Amino acid sequence: MTLKQMLEAMLYVVPIMGVIILVLWLIIRNQNKKKDALEAAMTQEQKDRLLQTRPEAAPAGKGGFVTEALVVEKLDKGAKYGVRLMWHNTVIPNKVLNKLMMTSLTVPKDKADAANLQVGDYVRYWMDPEKQKWDILF
């Protein structure tokens, strides 16, 4: 490949990379705004309860940890619910260590309905950061 061909190829690659970066930045910004809005809607008692929660060992056969989380949003998505949880990160050493975090996950309707899962409920939240798996333990 000649230098001219490489430069011509870069004319396509650079704008595409720029669009990808812009889209990712917009997604992250919107997620942060959503988290801030949901956290602002929480009562001080809810925040204090989460901040006082300490993680516990995961059930046998599962890695990771279990902690208490607050259901802050529940959206109908057909056979599942889209659920957003707020929880206090005291485990994962990153820039949000010791802060409230938001997690989005889906829960089968039959499980959620059997447990009468509602916004404002506290749930046991299982997370395995190494395997990137998480779920609500009913």
Give the C-alpha separation, 88 to 65, whole Å: 12
pLDDT score recorded for residue 134: 92
Report domain 44-137's class.
Answer: mainly beta
pTM for the model: 0.80
Tell me the sheet residues that pair with 74.
83
Q: Return the higher-pLDDT residue of 73 and 28.
A: 73
CB neighbour list of residue 38: distance below 8 Å, 6 or more residues apart: 72, 73, 84, 86, 102
Torsion of CA 56, 85, 79, 118, to 10 degrees: 100
pLDDT (tens digit per residue) in 65-118: 999 999 999 999 999 999 999 999 998 888 888 999 999 999 999 999 999 999
Q: Would you kindly state where each structural domain of the chain is located, as residue ranges? A: 1-41, 44-137
Give the C-alpha separation, 89 to 26, whole Å: 24
Tell me the sheet residues that pair with 126.
66, 135
pLDDT at 34 over 80: yes
